[in-house]
Amino acid sequence: MDDGQSIMSNSQGTVGDCQLSIVNCQLSIKFGSKEIVFDLEYQERKSLGITVHPDRKVMVKAPVDASFEKILEKVRKRAPWILKQQSYFLSFEPLTPPRKYISGESHLYMGRQYRLKIYDSSKDTVKLKRGFLEVHVTDKAKAKKLVLDWYKARAEVKFPEIAEKWIVRFKKYGVEPSSMIIKWMDKRWGSCTPKGKIILNIELMKAPKGCIEYVIVHELCHLIHHNHSAAFFEVQTKEMMDWGKWKERMERVMA
Ligand SMILES: [Zn+2]
């Protein structure tokens, strides 16, 4: 039983504010007394796909041209299954425990695993060395901050370096980002503002180069098309044939 109610909320941002979100938008349906919240993402695909993740999040992938009505109707039909999956996952511990920033943990950098090694030292430094992420600290409590600052510093060097050739390629469309902002974000890999500012998530520094390129290309396409229309995907595919592969890889690595 459901009352046919639906709520649509943009996951932040205004119309024309283009963003490559981890979610494109968040929707919810009422099913009996339960509410099912799900992230909606448009993709080049033929049919609707529903996934319930171990953290009980529901992800719906829809064809680019699917209407909201159609999507809500399909999700409603699958509601009993979604609720069953959610209660199944409820009995499990989280898959990836939160990082503690202690020796022995593995951390990702550009798609590779590095084992964290913490050393007592007279000064604070972080560097990659033969499969290890070596952190020299004056105070072990500072290890987390040092590592996060290191990711940020790497992103500030790497993102512009990786973006350069793509920015040059997109000049033929008469577009160019006005600036690039690099920061930690919770819910999206990248976004861009109506004024052409491209914002990239430092978290991307953990992904392979192809994934970083994909996010940059995606945002550059938004400088031409401020939506996820067929025309948008046409440019994205023209510039980066294998974007689908990198998108999938990113979702797997960064989950
Ligand atoms: Zn987008």
Q: Can you give the CATH number for the domain in which 231 is found?
A: 3.30.2010.10
**Contact of 156 with 184, CB cutoff 8 Å:** no
**Crossing angle between the packed helical segments 143-170 and 209-224, to the nearest 10 degrees:** 50
Q: Say if CB 49 and CB 60 are below 8 A apart.
A: yes
Could you tell me the pLDDT band of residue 249, with boundaries at 50, 70 and 90?
A: confident
Answer yes or no: do 183 and 249 share one domain: yes
Flag whether pLDDT at 11 surpasses 50. no
Alpha-carbon span 147 to 62, nearest angstrom = 37
Judge whether 101 lies within some domain: no
> Does residue 197 belong to any structural domain of this protein?
yes
Q: Output the pLDDT for position 27.
A: 78
CA 136 to ligand 1 centroid distance, Å: 39
Question: Which pLDDT band, with edges at 50, 70 and 90, does 200 fall under?
Answer: very high
Distance 188 CA to ligand 1 centre (A): 10
CB of 217 within 8 A of CB of 246? Answer: no
80 and 40 within one domain: yes
Domains of the chain: total: 3
Tens digits of residue pLDDT in 27-69: 788 888 888 888 888 888 889 999 887 677 888 999 888 887 8
Q: Tell me which residue range forms the domain holding 130.
A: 106-148
Cα(206) to centroid(ligand 1), Å: 20
For the chain, what is the radius of gyration of the CA atoms? 20
Q: Contact at 8 Å (CB) between 217 and 235? A: no
In a domain, 1, yes or no: no
Whether the predicted model's global pTM rises above the 0.75 cut:
no
